[in-house]
Structure 1
Amino acid sequence: MSNIAILLPGIGSQYLKMGKSMYDNYASAKRIFDIADECLGYHLRERIMYGDSKEFNDKTFVPAAILTTSIAFFTVFQDVFNIKEAYYAGHDIGELSALVCSGAIDFSDALNFLVEHSQITLSQNDASNKEEISFRLQELISKLTLKRHVENVITTVDGIIYTDSEDIVRLMLQPYTQTRWKDTIRYMTNQGIYRYIEIGPSNMLRPQVLDVEPAARVLTVDYEGDPYYSTELFKKRKLFNKTYLLSRMLGVAVSVPNNNFDDRDYLQNVVTPYNQLKDIYDKYSSTNEQPSDSDMADASRYFMQIMHGKKTEANEINLRLSDLQEETLIEEVDMFIDLNKTTLLAKGTPVSGMS
């Protein structure tokens, strides 16, 4: 199991055409939207992708749209990367998405539940029927079928991991405004989780995580206004891909400004290690094999030699390494960061942007 947590967004993440690139490019995502259409009895996908933006104020439509889009993203993510996450957590209705992603609840059951739950809670404006509404909600929750015991979902009602299935009843009876999102992030941080992947529409959760834990690495799989960001991320298999990391190291090595104007030293400490780094990348670029530990150790040494050969400031090196770690979520990059941190501290240099 990896030390990664999956975060699922809630109300506020929705936007017109969300999930379209997933639907257009991945059969598994298309299947999720098709299941939603069948469950709901209307074309949810059509309304999400081609409807009127005013519909995104509809309080029964929006929760179903967010849930469906989030599960479509997660399904493709699992197909591509097949990662076993340590924890799942969702912001407001995203908690239901988290339960689906963990395997505790079936998607179609969650979708039907969410629609009926939204309809019941919308009728709470009439103060005289509170008891009836509470009874209807408890009756609805009791029908929610669990596929298996909940083991690794953090409940934002308490900010801790579910202790048993009874927590679901408590959660669903709580208004979404009474969640403890920051405590949820703190709980996972205390468990050693520093790598997070926000899966679903938009990128609303990243700043909230960094506000609690600035050292966290948070990758978002979707950006409003950039419909092909997620497609490129999945098709190029950028995450957990050491070969892709090697290609990015080469890119950084070229793009970092040079401050070394000694031709002989530049040849020895920039050109030569760059060619050695490129040889390692070329060895794996046309295969499905991941670089060996020894090759990655050599690559890191060549990369650091290039950075120092170009006389790059230590803090600049650290920022570049942090970007590489956040782009790929590969833990080995932490080794480079620690290496550079040692250099910084030895020089007595103030440290910035450091995890």
Structure 2
Amino acid sequence: MMVKRALLFPGQGSQYVGMGKDLFIKYPIAKETFQEANDAMNVDLTKLMFEGGITELTRTEYAQPAILAVGMAMFRVYKEVVGTDINYMTGHSLGEITALTCAGSIPFASAIRIVHRRGELMREAAAIGGGAMAAVNELGVSEVEAICASVSSIHKGGAEIVVVSNINSEDQVVISGHKGALSEAAERLTKRGAIVIPLQVSAPFHSPLMAPAAVQFAEELSKYTFSPLQYPVISSVTAKLYASSDEIAKVLTEQLTAPVQWVAVLQYLRENGVSEAAELGPRTVLKKLAHHTAGMKVFAFDHGPDAEQLLSESKVAKEEYPLDFIIQCVSIATCTRNRNWDSEAYAKGVITPYRNVQKMLYQLQQSGDQVTWAHMEQAYAMLLSVLKTKQVPEVEQLSRLERLLAEYGLQENFGQRSPIGVLNS
């Protein structure tokens, strides 16, 4: 029976000085990733991550791109070394942007710039003051929500609010709001037996008070075009799969004011058969939050023993895949009639991915290296992009793809990326 796997990406707060340094030393692909991040920001982000200090690294406009860069580096290493199937991706707050980037919808350099701007907007909101956040432990979410609603309805005639902003686990939620309302809610929650821990932030993230920053972030996102998703991604806002990349700007904007539904995300994974997950990013935050999720084992890439177990799959589970499959993908892409005369769209959706796969195929043929699952997925993603961009009728697309997968017995392998779902994106 095939094991279903998910990749989890953490959010802000997981940063620390030295993060990613081992990857940088051991893996050329990680070193390249960090250099891409440096170039995208025009800042020596790598030096800041490796040498600190922690005060500057913790500044939200630096912490967010740094965490994203580590997540992307780990993802590329994971794909290069392990190459096993990935059924779902998801991320906690900022981590959702990392997931969308690893799923191919946001170019890495663009993602670095997006989260840098996101961090600036959050810092500016923090500078305004008047807001606070606190972690609430040992009390159920429904009771916390009820107390927050009660306080918001009476505090200063409703002029101040406090809301649940993160549902992290069965025994931990985070609340955000005006300082006065939050303080009163904390007192009531403590009387009910909760352990309330103020967080060292000065803005109420994931609450309605972030609406001005959300408006500006929406303007920033409007500058970008998002590509079709190459893997299923679950939003931490809706706890549902993205239906298409068209939803990205809207959902990421909502994320600044809406609560993080992490418990619902983990529930979705379990209900859909995921039994293993890898946390890709600094520290082990998401592994700890998943300790109540029965039937799902989470390995944290930043934890030495876990990383060894994840990477050992390359020795015991890696299969040899057929080079002919890649050749067939290239052949179908070449022979398919084009119905799209938009030169810009054609260059992006056909020429670029086709040339990348053609180069990959040539290198494999010359080197004689083993074909990995990452190679297979790149070829298949290219073919999907070409068929869609060339505006091949959907019935014809489905027929071609079904025949191809059936010929190589790969229906189950690509089952989580249904051609219909991709084509409608």
TM, length-normalised to structure 1: 0.61
- The change in CA–CA distance for 1:149 and 1:229 in structure 2 (over 3 A counts) is closer
Q: How many residues align?
A: 238
- Code of the residue aligned with 1:112 in structure 2: it is R
The match for 1:68 is 69
Corresponding position: 1:18 with 2:92: no
CA distance in 1, matches of 2:247, 2:30: 30
- Code of the residue aligned with 2:41 in structure 1: it is L
- Code of the residue aligned with 2:294 in structure 1: it is P
Alpha-carbon distance, 1:194 to partner = 1.3
1:193 corresponds, among 274, 280, 288, to 274
The match for 1:181 is 262
SS of corresponding position for 2:274: coil
Alpha-carbon distance, 1:151 to partner = 5.3
CA distance in 1, matches of 2:244, 2:216: 22
The match for 1:143 is 223
Alpha-carbon distance, 1:171 to partner = 2.5
The match for 2:106 is 105
Alpha-carbon distance, 1:75 to partner = 0.6
The match for 1:345 is none
CA distance in 2, matches of 1:68, 1:4: 22
Aligned alpha-carbon RMSD (Å):
2.8
CA distance in 1, matches of 2:75, 2:81: 10
Alpha-carbon distance, 1:208 to partner = 1.3
Contact 2:105 2:227 in 1 (8 A): yes
Corresponding position: 1:206 with 2:280: no
CA distance in 1, matches of 2:295, 2:69: 31
- Code of the residue aligned with 1:238 in structure 2: it is S
Alpha-carbon distance, 1:103 to partner = 1.2
Deviating more after overlay: 38-47 vs 135-144: 135-144
- Code of the residue aligned with 1:164 in structure 2: it is S
The match for 2:302 is 222
Contact 1:9 1:204 in 2 (8 A): yes
Alpha-carbon distance, 1:53 to partner = 2.1
Deviating more after overlay: 76-85 vs 158-167: 158-167
- The change in CA–CA distance for 1:170 and 1:150 in structure 2 (over 3 A counts) is farther
The match for 1:160 is 240
CA distance in 2, matches of 1:102, 1:135: 26
CA distance in 1, matches of 2:39, 2:317: 41
Corresponding position: 1:242 with 2:322: no
- Code of the residue aligned with 1:214 in structure 2: it is A
Alpha-carbon distance, 1:122 to partner = 2.5
CA distance in 2, matches of 1:31, 1:191: 35
User: Greater strand percent: which structure?
Assistant: 2
CA distance in 1, matches of 2:306, 2:269: 27
Alpha-carbon distance, 1:159 to partner = 0.8
SS of corresponding position for 1:4: strand
SS of corresponding position for 2:29: helix
**Where in structure 2 are the equivalents of 1:316-327 lying within 5 Å?**
none
TM, length-normalised to structure 2: 0.51
| Percent identity (aligned) | 25
SS of corresponding position for 2:266: helix
CA distance in 2, matches of 1:57, 1:177: 23
Contact 1:2 1:83 in 2 (8 A): no
Where in structure 2 are there 5+ consecutive unaligned residues?
130-208, 319-369, 371-425
CA distance in 2, matches of 1:243, 1:111: 33
Alpha-carbon distance, 1:207 to partner = 2.1
- The change in CA–CA distance for 1:196 and 1:70 in structure 2 (over 3 A counts) is same
- Code of the residue aligned with 1:182 in structure 2: it is V
Where in structure 1 are there 5+ consecutive unaligned residues?
245-287, 289-355
